[in-house]
Every structure is written in C-alpha cells, then in structure tokens.
Structure 1
C-alpha cells in the first residue's frame, strides 16, 4: 500500500470513528448523563451559596412529612423579654390581641431593669424603664385579651442588671463576673425579697411566678460557697427553696416555676431527699431543632417521681444567633415539632401543664439586641398555630396565620430572601424594611468580595500605592451607590422603629447593625481617594 493510500485510509478512520459513535444513541447515554450530573451539581452549589448567604435555606421536607400534627393540651405561654428594649405600651396594646388570636393563653414577662424599682433599690431601674402606670396598663391590656401575666424574676443567675452596680458587687458569686449572686450571703435574701415583692405587688392577680435559676455557671467561687464546693447541688436547691419560701409567705396561692437545667443533672433519690415543696415546678427548656437524645425518658420519669408535673419551653425567637436581626422561623418550627413529638410520647405518663415560647431580646444584659419582637411575630404565629394542631410550613404561612397577619406575600415571611411580605399587622412595615436591609447587606457583602476589590484594593495596593485607575473609578461609583442606598434604608428603618421603640433603642440597633457598614464604606472611599491622588510611581 502506497503512502498516499495509507494517509487516505488513516484520515478516513480518524474522522469516521467518532461519527459512528455519535450515530449510535446508546453510546450517547454516558455523555448526556455526565452533562446532566454536572449541571445538577453546579445548580445546587449555586443555590446553596445564594440561599445560605441571604438567610434562606434549601429545605428538604422528608422530616416534615414524618411529623404528625397533634394539638397541645395545656397552657401556651409567650415570653416577652423587655431587658434593654421595652416596646412602647401603645405597641404592646396593639399586639396583645394578635398574640391571643394565635392561641396563647398567658405572657411570661421578664422586666429586668425595665421595672420601675423604688426606694433603696431605685438604682436598679434603667433610664428607659416603664413607669408604674405603664406597668398597670400592660397588665390590664394583657388581661383584656384574656392573657394571664406571669412575671419572670431572675433570682440566681442573669443578674447583671443588679450585680454590675457598685452597691451590690460584694454579692457576686465570682468577683469578676456580675452574673450569679452568692446564695450564702445574708444580704442576698434581703435584696431578692425586695425585688420580688416590688414586682409581685404590681401583679395582684398573679397565680404563677418564674424565679429563673438557669445557667448558674460560677457556683462555688465565693469564699462562703467554697467551703461547700462538693455540695453544689445542696447549695443550689437550698437557695431555690429559700427564694420560693419568701414568695409563698406573702403569696401562698402562687406556684413557683424554675428552669430545670441544674436539677436535670441531679439523680432522682438525691432530689427526693432535698424535699422540694410541692409548689415548685420545673420547666424543661431546650431550643434545638432536634433534641430526642437530650430530653430522655429518664428525665421525664425522674420529674414525675419528684414533682408530679412538668412544663416545656421552646422558642419563637432570640435563641439561635447573638447578632441576628431576622427570625429564622424554620428553626423554631422544628424546635416546636420536636417538643410536640416528646409531648406525644409522654402525655399519658406525666402531667404536662403547658409550654413556654421564649423570645429572648438579648443573650445577656451586655449583649447587643438580637431579632426584634415585631420581626418575630410571624414566627410566633407559626409556632403557636403548630401547637394548636394545625400543620405549618417552612416556606409559606398557613391561612390561619395569614388571616391575622394579612400579608400580601406570605411566602416571604417564613422564607427570607424572596422579596417583601407587605404585612398589615402592627410592625409589618418594619419587617419589610428589615428584609430590604437584609437583601442590601447580602449584595454589599458580595460586592466587598468581588474580584475588583480583591485585585485592586487589597493591602498590597494600599501600602504601595499601586492601582488601576479605571478599576478604581468603577469601584468608587459602586461604593457611593451603596452609600446612597444605605442612606435611604436607614431613614426608613428608623422611621418604622420609632413607632415601636424609644430613640435610644433605635440608636442602639443602628449602631449595632448599620453603622459598621457606614464605617467600612467611609474607609473604602478614603482609600480610593488616597490612591487616585498618586500619579507617579517608582
């Protein structure tokens, strides 16, 4: 075979083999399968990046389908945390009827330093504290909506508003931590007796009082308690009993509630030996999405043998992230679903009196504000509706909730990142402005990580004055555009917040969430202007 024939034959084989492959449909299957898998992977990765950054979530609902709705038969109590951010009384009067329509039966109100303490403990009240007349109006408005009021008075830990004061620093359990009070200091009983009595005096029809007792982290640090360091359980229970007796002496028909996390670790026989009075009732609290491994049958049966009955506590806001400004209702719905699963398991084994839906406003007295009450009302509606035995969804509002909130775009309430909700409930406009800010913040963070800033406005460029003028002009225009948008958003947020909160609280929210962006923008503008003044390089 000549060279020309060989070359012709070779060329024919080279081109015809792939052609024959492409003509066979079965041979194309692996190619199409590869393209499909690659496209699916890319789509999911893109969606995950976008949704996780914007606060939305891709939700797989297999676990939702497993959950069987059940009506919770018992008290449904909403916790209002006023520390550092008390809503105006006018707003509370508007929102109480809505809370009642959702199915709540009572309010657990934590005043902290927002109570108008008098006489020798007047220094405990904040400049933003309610007046005595405002306290009366709050209680009256709640009762007019058929909501009982239960005070939550911290008497062991979370006493920063007291122990931060020079007058009471000697009562700290740990000298450097103004959180826990020393249970063995004689002055402790006098102070707590004064605090509890002033608050309860303003609640003449109260049937229950919650005395806290959770997260006692420094017990056994002070000189008095160190002597009994091996008897922490005994010290704890002795203090709880003392506080309870002080209250019962003046209010004999009042039930005393405590958070259970400390006594959860004490075994049954030891608890029985402590001989806790029958008017003390434990509240089992947990804010996780899934908690079957934490709230075990052993705990339930132990409390049955010692107390006879129990309470549950989940959350509708303020229990996930310390600096969250939106409420992720999917987490709270999962939390309440978990509680209902536990309720279904044990409702015939122990008396379950009710469930608290906590709504913390700060993680502690010194922490910044987390998601505000008006932003969390949809989450509250979803969780209370779930307790009423109605199926709720992560990605939309049930009609029972939306009939109360009147949202034009209910999908946006539970599934952040999908536009504005346009709700008509008191505080609905504030929700929309916060949703706008949330979207702005996401876009701003994407901008701050784009290739132009990374490549032409990094530390190297700034230190050495190396820059691309065209790129910096583009960055400058974008930065100024973001500043103008933030100016508009800030005005809208402040306007809506001032209907609900006093100026000091509006300013705090601004300083916590908006001002850091302004500072960063100002820094960028200054860096760009400094660089662009340079026209000669060496």
Structure 2
C-alpha cells in the first residue's frame, strides 16, 4: 500500500439510525473496507444498540443483540479495523437552539453568561465524566460549535485538555486556507491533536438516492491539500462519514451498498494522494466494474462488490422509474389528448384509444414490477423489513401508484355501460299528463 497519504487513520462511518445493515452484510463489506485502505470504523449505533434496563425503550424493533454486537466487533478486529463508538451526546440533539429553553434563558440572563459558555460547560462536564469512567479513552467532538468561540474563551474553558476536535466539511469546494487557519486557532487554544471529517455519501441532499462520486472525490482531494499544507502531524486521521439520515425525522438518503463505489474512490484517493487514472483502475478492479464514470451521478452496470445488485437496481429505479411514468402520463399524445385528467375523472374514452394506451401501460407496469421484485429480494439479504418498506414507499410506490391508477381508470372507462330500463311515461302509470 502506498505511503502517499498524510492521514494515518482512515475511519469509515456507519450511521445506523437509518437502514442499519444486517451483520451478515457487514461481514461481506468489512474485508473490502480493509482492502480499500480503511483501518477504522466509527460506528453510530443509535437505536440499534441492545440497551438494557431503563434504556431498553430506546431499542429499535430490529436492534442488534449483544451477540451480534460482539460479532461486529470480532469482524472488525479480524479485518484490522479499529472501532470507535459514536454517541451523539450533543451533536444531533437540536444544538443550534442552545439557550432557547426556559431554564437556559434564565441562566443566560446572569452576568458574564453566554451561549458559548453554556456549550463549553456542557462539553466539559460530559468529557470529564467519560474520562473519569474510562481513563484510557479520548473523547472526540464535532467542531462546528467551537469554530466561532473566541480563542481566549476556548483556552480558559479547559475543554482543549479533555477532547480532540473533528473538523468536518463535506463540500467539494472546501476552503483549504480557512481550514488551515482554523487548525492554527485550535492549536493555539491548547488542542494538540485534531481530526478531519469528509463524506462519501449522505451529504448532498436529504433525499439523495445516488451519491455524486465526483463531488465526494473532490472533497477528499481538498482535505489532502489541507493535510499537506497545514501544521505537520496535527491531523491524526480522517473520518469518511456516510450519513444515512440527516436527523431522526428525515427520510433515508443513499443506502450503504449504493455508496460503496463512492467510498472506494474516496479511500483510494486518500491512500494514493489523489484520484489519478491509475487509481481509478485500482478502484474498478476492487469493485469488479468495467468502468467507473465519476462525472455521472452514478455509474450504471454490473459489479462484483457486496451489494452490487442493490446498487444496480437502485440505479435503475432512481434514474428511470419516475421519468418513464412521467413520459407516459405527461408526454404520450394519446394520454394527454384523449385520456386527460378531465376524461379520467369522468371515465370517458374513445374505444380505439384504449388500444393506443393500455398495452404500453401494461408493459411498463410489468417491467417495473419485475425489477422491483428483484430489488426487494436483494434488499432482504442486507436490510431489515422496516428499511425495505420505507425505501420502497418513498422511492417506488408513488410512481407505481400513478401507473396503476391510469390502468384502473382505463379499465373503468372501457367497461360497457349498464343497460338501463326505458324511461317511464305518464301514460304508463295512468297519471294525468
């Protein structure tokens, strides 16, 4: 393996608060992570951890069992992946609204108190507790709440002696100079060891289904520039984040198998100091793909990496399902001209036009139904039922329902009208005209 990378530690982030993979799937991808250049895992267990006692109510329906957690740790060790658990004690807990609660507002009214002081006091308390319970542990913290705190206040808080900040930026246009300046600020405050955090997926849209590989590769190339241009040996490593939800209330973004090509390109870029043509060839070899086109939203085609069937099928659905249904419903001249929403509501259609619409609609429904069945079967090997239900309901069901609705309306419009009795006359009833 090349020694071109300035990042000694390369952690892959597993966000389990959405679409948590089955342990059997993790057993397949951990060897690939190692082969691609990862030497650590940042595992965000969230509600997949087998909490007990009073915390048992936090468990997800399909939470890992204690034996499964032990198996994950065994598999990680087997593949030389150091495990760091991620527990969101402050991050992802509505931190941006710090100071807006009634108790906090009263505290902030006291002289010399501020939101920055409130933030630092909480971090100091949590970090001190962790270190008291586990003296050999080093707490890491996301740095976004630290960036704008004045240097002297940071230094006086005692926090720099307790934690190591993780400077995160997921942008393809990351400002290298501002990151180097921030690293200098943190060092002067007393933080001696810093970490970087990039992203291989889950950072370009809350409902993103396919990772834009070029964006993520560019993000890692920018971090490489930061590492080689900043203070020597300050950055201990980099965390390649792969967020699965933006928060607990958001939809799922890119599934882990779909993000594997992006992860491969990013890890190999870090290992070799960039994404040159020879690195691209190495990535293609690892993935078993004939060509990885990072300029496209995602590369279509088969591969041999774990979950490559999910990757291929999700790509088909994401790129073509909605557009194919839209084309039929909104641009087919027979549908728009002879079976518009006006006609559909009234179940009116010329019988000849049925033959121009129904066969194509049935063929489209059959093709997508077969593909979705394949996708559901592939997803069942890697994910739990609730994940499959959510992903299909968000990404497949709306288009399929529109297609099925068209066919249902066609069927009702084509049905023969019921024979009605002739209208009665006043003579038939003997009534006066």
User: What does residue range 36-435 of structure 1 map to in structure 2 within 5 Å?
Assistant: 71-158=5-92, 179-180=93-94, 216-229=95-108, 231-292=114-175, 295-306=178-189, 307-348=191-232, 351-392=234-275, 398-407=280-289, 409-411=290-292, 415=296, 419-420=300-301, 422-435=302-315
2:427 maps to what in 1? Answer: none
Report how far residue 416 of structure 1 moved.
5.1
- The CA distance in 1 between the partners of 2:279 and 2:311, in whole Å, is 15
Q: Is contact 2:211-2:259 (8 Å) kept?
A: yes
Report how far residue 81 of structure 1 moved.
0.8
Report how far residue 126 of structure 1 moved.
0.8
Distance 1:145 1:414, change over 3 A: farther
- The CA distance in 2 between the partners of 1:417 and 1:377, in whole Å, is 11
1:172 maps to what in 2? Answer: none
Structure 2, unmatched stretches of 5+, are 418-433
Report how far residue 242 of structure 1 moved.
0.8
- The CA distance in 1 between the partners of 2:391 and 2:408, in whole Å, is 26
Higher relative contact order, structure no. (Cα contacts within 8 Å, ≥ 6 residues apart): 2
SS in 2 for 1:355: strand
Q: Is contact 2:318-2:395 (8 Å) kept?
A: no
Residues 209-255 of structure 1, C-alpha deviations (whole Å, 9 max, x = no match) = xxxxxxx1221122211113461111111111111111101111111
Report how far residue 151 of structure 1 moved.
0.3
Report how far residue 459 of structure 1 moved.
3.6
TM-score, normalised with respect to structure 2: 0.87
- The CA distance in 1 between the partners of 2:362 and 2:300, in whole Å, is 24
1:440 maps to what in 2? Answer: 320
Report how far residue 273 of structure 1 moved.
2.0
Q: What is the aligned-residue RMSD (CA, Å)? A: 2.6
Residues 72-113 of structure 1, C-alpha deviations (whole Å, 9 max, x = no match) = 332111101111322111211121111011111110000000
Q: Is contact 2:141-2:164 (8 Å) kept?
A: yes
Report how far residue 378 of structure 1 moved.
1.2
State the aligned residue count: 408
- The CA distance in 1 between the partners of 2:270 and 2:222, in whole Å, is 11
Is the radius of gyration larger for structure 1 or structure 2?
1
SS in 1 for 2:114: helix
- The CA distance in 2 between the partners of 1:393 and 1:324, in whole Å, is 27
- The CA distance in 1 between the partners of 2:115 and 2:91, in whole Å, is 15
- The CA distance in 2 between the partners of 1:398 and 1:297, in whole Å, is 28
User: What does residue range 491-506 of structure 1 map to in structure 2 within 5 Å?
Assistant: 491-506=373-388
- The CA distance in 2 between the partners of 1:534 and 1:286, in whole Å, is 63
User: What does residue range 429-508 of structure 1 map to in structure 2 within 5 Å?
Assistant: 429-441=309-321, 442-452=323-333, 453-462=335-344, 469-508=351-390
Report how far residue 332 of structure 1 moved.
0.7
Q: Is contact 1:456-1:472 (8 Å) kept?
A: no
Q: More deviation in 499-508 or 130-139?
A: 499-508
Report how far residue 331 of structure 1 moved.
1.4
- The CA distance in 1 between the partners of 2:298 and 2:122, in whole Å, is 48
Distance 1:269 1:419, change over 3 A: closer
Distance 1:499 1:364, change over 3 A: same
TM-score, normalised with respect to structure 1: 0.71
Q: Is contact 2:198-2:223 (8 Å) kept?
A: yes
Q: Is contact 1:289-1:338 (8 Å) kept?
A: yes
Report how far residue 513 of structure 1 moved.
1.2
Q: Is contact 1:397-1:413 (8 Å) kept?
A: no
Report how far residue 144 of structure 1 moved.
1.0
SS in 1 for 2:17: coil
Q: Is contact 2:123-2:159 (8 Å) kept?
A: no
Report how far residue 370 of structure 1 moved.
1.5
Q: More deviation in 500-509 or 231-240?
A: 500-509
Residues 379-426 of structure 1, C-alpha deviations (whole Å, 9 max, x = no match) = 1110000001254269x972222332222x333687457641x21122
- The CA distance in 2 between the partners of 1:381 and 1:126, in whole Å, is 30
Report how far residue 285 of structure 1 moved.
0.8
Report how far residue 532 of structure 1 moved.
4.5
SS in 2 for 1:217: helix
Residues 438-482 of structure 1, C-alpha deviations (whole Å, 9 max, x = no match) = 343233333343152444444444456665554454232222222
Report how far residue 156 of structure 1 moved.
1.9
User: What does residue range 509-524 of structure 1 map to in structure 2 within 5 Å?
Assistant: 509-524=391-406
Q: Is contact 2:9-2:236 (8 Å) kept?
A: yes
